[in-house]
């Protein structure tokens, strides 16, 4: 039997609420399932609440609401928070990504999360509803 984890996208207001929603979907109230893009990708690889065989479904309900909440504005906020810690050799690339996000261009956090899920899991794992 395939396990289904349901994310209620209508409750997503930004990246922090996404971390809460996915953590609770997988590991119950107060559950953890990554709180950064790299940690999230690692958690999807197994051992953090998902079945050991890697067979599960993430059903992201009201994903259009989440897409708006995790859009360019939230992407820019995340990049602004990270900017002070960026290594000098990556600063110009990072600043270009920030400028794009502020201008409403480029991939959003929603796009990045969807990409991580589709790259780290089996085909058909993510269901956007």
C-alpha to C-alpha distance for 8 and 129, rounded to whole angstroms: 10
Pairing of strands 3-8, 56-61: parallel
Could you tell me if 128 and 83 lie in one domain?
no
Please compute the mean of the pLDDT values over residues 22-41 and round it to a whole number. Answer: 93
pLDDT at residue 1 tops 90: no
Render pLDDT for 67-78 as a digit per residue (tens, 0 to 9).
999 999 999 999
Render pLDDT for 69-114 as a digit per residue (tens, 0 to 9).
999 999 999 999 999 999 999 999 999 999 999 999 999 999 999 9
Three-state DSSP state, 60:
strand
Could you tell me if 83 and 55 lie in one domain?
no
Could you tell me if 59 and 14 lie in one domain?
yes
Could you tell me if 63 and 120 lie in one domain?
yes
Could you tell me if 97 and 116 lie in one domain?
no
Could you tell me if 31 and 61 lie in one domain?
yes
| Parent domain of 34 | 1-68+109-129
Percentage of the chain beyond pLDDT 90 is 87
Of 60, 64, 58, the C-alpha closest to 124 is 58
Q: H or E element: which one contains 113? A: helix 109-120
């Amino acid at each position: 039997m395939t396990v289904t984890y349901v994310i209620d996208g209508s409750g997503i207001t930004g990246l922090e609420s996404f971390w809460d929603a996915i953590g609770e979907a997988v590991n119950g109230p107060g559950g953890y399932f990554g709180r950064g893009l790299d940690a999230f990708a690692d958690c999807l690889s197994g051992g953090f609440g998902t079945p050991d065989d890697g067979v599960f479904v993430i059903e992201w309900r009201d994903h259009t609401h989440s897409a708006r909440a995790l859009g360019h504005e939230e992407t820019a906020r995340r990049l602004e928070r990270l900017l002070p810690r960026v290594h000098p050799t990556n600063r110009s690339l990072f600043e270009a990504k920030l400028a794009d996000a502020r201008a409403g261009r480029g991939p959003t956090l929603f796009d990045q999360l969807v990409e991580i899920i589709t790259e780290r899991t089996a085909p058909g794992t993510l269901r956007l509803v």
